[in-house]
Chain A
Amino acid sequence: MRVFRLSVPMALVFILMPAGVKATDAPPVKSACERAGYWLIEQHNLDEGTFGKTRLGKEPGVVGLVLKALGEGPRDYREAHGPFITKPVKYLLAHQKENGAITLDGRDTYNTALALLGLQVQHNTAYRVEIQSAKDYLAKCQAKDGGFTYGEGFRQGGDLSNTLFGLSGIKTGGGKVDKDLFTNALDFIRRCQDNPETNPEMAAKQGPGTGGAYYQPNKSEAGTVQIKRGEGQALDLPKPYGSMTAAAIECYLLCGLKADAPEVQAALKWFKKNFSAKENPGAGMQGYYYYAFAVSRALSSAGIKEIDMGEGQKVNWASALADQLLSVQNRGTPEEGGRAMRGSFVNKEPRWMEDDPVLCTAYALATLNICYENLSGKEE
């Protein structure tokens, strides 16, 4: 009867689906969201409020990311839907420290920011004080260079990834923020981009101006690119890659720049040349799920529907990403770990903890939610 209605039986559709069916339609994406959501819900540890069996699933950031993904999907799972939301919410609140951080030990910026997003998505005014105190903590994680670091009191400079999460947390739900915070952050973000026009360091080095971004000023997690400087001379420059270029776009927008700002346009230019739905361009499969989430957020925030790849090729990024995610979503076959894994995602490339299916599935679901909104015409 309504057998195809929910995640478990919906898996059948995909077993039976003729090859070549595209996810350009919203309904298959909704079904994929349901399967991913269902899998995450099944990973909930009722006694604790955490997800999965690994240490990572106890990190408030991962709990928060799961809540955000579940709460913003086509099913809007909030506290009313069950203890798989109310218990994690209590878990997050219980792990807030006196300084406002929501964390176990380490990666305080990530943890606090994502926990904050997980709380905010409940739209429950009861947590106003806790949310504000977490935001206040995040503001203290901004380093002298304008970027955000792993937590308060870190001596080294900021990085674009912590900056993305720090700013996302601070901006969520509105409220007053010191203007200098954004001004300083903008200085930092510009220094992480190969755009001589707005990055004096790159101008001095006569960077090629691809528009791509990297982890820290003059440092990329994806290695270097060699630029030839005349006869026998070469210069190593940080190699831009997809996840950080997407992070740069989102950070610029969070700081108040508009999509037509030269910084944002330069980064979009990089994607016109390098966008991929199948890998984190410039870094292969490393950080693919982080990338998928970051790039879908960035392009959606920038109001982009299609990327013009040149030579008449236009890519509907939401459709392309959804297609790819649907094709790699666990179908629950014996080879994939059986029914218990159906609906989940994992990266064979373990860097940045993406060998953890709870983390990958949460990123993938958050991405699919954005794709679904864009494909179904629902505005974010």
Chain B
Amino acid sequence: MIRHTRTFALLAALSLAGAILQAADAPPAKPGEKQAAIEAAKKAADWLLKQANDDGTFGKIPPPTRKMPGFVGLVLYGIAKSPDKPSVDKVPALAKAAEYLVAVQQPNGAIALPMFGAENYNTSIAIMALKALNNPKYDEVLQKALDFTLSCQLDEKRGYNSKEHVAAYGAFGYSDGKKGDLSNTSFSLDALKAMGVKEDSPAYKNALIFIKRCQDAETNDSKMMDGGDNTGGFVYLPGDSEFGKVKSRNGTEVPKPYGNMTYAGIKALIYCGVKADSNELKDAWKWIKSNYSATENPGGNGSQGYYYYAVAFAKAFTASGMKELTLPDGKKVRWANDLSANLAKLQSPDGSFMNKDQHWMESDPILATACALQALNLCIEAMP
């Protein structure tokens, strides 16, 4: 009896050890997972194509919202990068969308509707989309658009200096106006990178000054984030988080870092040439490891902005070249498998996505599906 008990205990201990050992490795990638992600992406792309309107826009939201070039650009970009890589020459809806973006270019180079504002947001996304089509016929339009986006950066030419304007200098914003934030800076850097702006360009150097100032870290020289716990997470702009404030260990109220911006910050740092062994990136990954989630925006508010999050998440991991991440408990995760599996779960049978939380327009299935597709495309690239 005693012997049996001992054997049982030993077996239990062994199986526990086995469980721990197994946890130390990422679960083996199942061959079906990549295929499932591909199918989900194809279904999303097909659904989006079916929503194409004759004027090059997508969906049924009443104009003018539907006509925002940024929306058209997100859809176009998602489909162009989807597994079938459909060509503009063969899919009329894509050609129309591309022509729409070209047609709304303003004399100053912005790809935007003047009545809407958000000129730089729209232009940055339109650049990504048109550039992804790999067609020299868009070169001139793209160069003008890039010049416009570069003109929007808050630097000396706009009366900003890095010493006084520590919450804004180097940033890009929604418009060609006077305010910047990390989200739009991240979009504009996408555009700069896609257009092959050289690494030694002052645009990156100045953007980097801003990006570092959005981080809850010792390397932040803005004084706008003082009193934080140096968690490594990022906020929307120095001293300002979309999710309010949080008390640090010493009792100071500091802006609350969250996933959307931390992933956007990581990608932005990498695009600005910051190396993987820098304190900024090490700190940022420390935050990600403690807050890793493929199912919601950590630090945020449930499902608010989840599709934005999915894209930011996938872009940051892709930029880093990382396929796996080791969490503080030793567990290894494969981000692309985790994210694509969750997206597949959220997909409607018709291929579309939508967020029940209407923040940031994600209750619009066009926007949500375009984002989900972009995230799935990046997952597929990263899956073996």
Contact = CB atoms under 8 A, between A and B. Distances in A.
A and B associate in one complex: yes
B226 to A, nearest CB: 12
Q: Count chain B CB atoms within 10 A of each CB in A1, A16, A46, A332 and give the residue with the most.
A: A1
Contacts of B179: 6, 38, 41, 81-82
Contact of B165 (A6, A46, A82, A342): A82
A3 B222 contact: no
Nearest to A42: B177
B242 interface: yes
A2 B308 contact: yes
Contacts of B70: 1, 3
Contacts of B243: none
Interface in A75-101: 75-76, 78-84, 86-87
B121 interface: yes
B167 A8 contact: no
Contacts of B367: 1, 3
B215 interface: no
Given A38-B179, A81-B179, A4 B361 contact: yes
B8 interface: no
B376 to A, nearest CB: 16
A81 B360 contact: no
Given A2-B308, A9-B118, A41-B177, A46 B240 contact: no
A12 interface: yes
A338 interface: yes
Interface string B211-244: 0000000000010100000000000001110100
Interface in B122-179: 154, 158-160, 164-168, 173-175, 177-179
Interface stretch (B109-117, B201-209, B321-329): B109-117
Nearest to B173: A6
A36 to B, nearest CB: 14
Given A12-B65, A80-B167, A6 B178 contact: no
Contacts of A2: 183, 260, 305, 308, 360
B65 A16 contact: yes
Nearest to A338: B115
A339 interface: yes
Contacts of B154: 82
A1 B115 CA distance: 19
B307 to A, nearest CB: 8
Tell me whether chain B's interface is mostly helix, strand or loop, or mixed: loop
Contacts, number: 99
Nearest to B161: A83
Contact of A87 (B68, B159, B239): B159
Given A1-B371, A3-B361, A82 B115 contact: no
Contacts of A191: none
A84 to B, nearest CB: 5
A12 B361 CA distance: 10
Given A80-B166, A82-B168, A5 B360 contact: yes
User: Could you say which interface size class chain B belongs to?
Assistant: 35 or more
Name the prevailing secondary structure of the A interface residues.
Answer: helix
A84 B166 CA distance: 13
B165 A339 contact: no
Contacts of A80: 164-168, 222, 224, 238-239
B359 interface: yes
B168 A339 contact: no
A281 B288 CA distance: 55
B174 A1 contact: no
A68 interface: no
A6 B174 CA distance: 8
Given A46-B159, A80-B222, A80-B224, A8 B174 contact: yes
Contacts of A44: 178
B192 interface: no
Nearest to A47: B159
A42 B177 CA distance: 7
Given A9-B174, A339-B115, A1 B164 contact: no
A5 B178 contact: no
B311 interface: yes
B369 to A, nearest CB: 13
A87 B168 CA distance: 15
Contact of A8 (B166, B175, B260, B307): B175
Interface of B: 65, 68, 70, 74, 114-118, 121, 154, 158-160, 164-168, 173-175, 177-179, 181, 183, 187, 222, 224, 238-240, 242, 260, 305, 307-308, 311, 359-361, 367, 371
Kindly list the 8 A-B residue pairs having the minimum CB-CB distance in the complex, ordered from nearest.
A8-B117, A80-B167, A83-B159, A1-B308, A4-B360, A80-B166, A82-B168, A81-B167
11 contacts: A1-B187, A1-B360, A1-B371, A2-B183, A3-B70, A5-B360, A8-B118, A42-B177, A46-B159, A80-B238, A82-B168
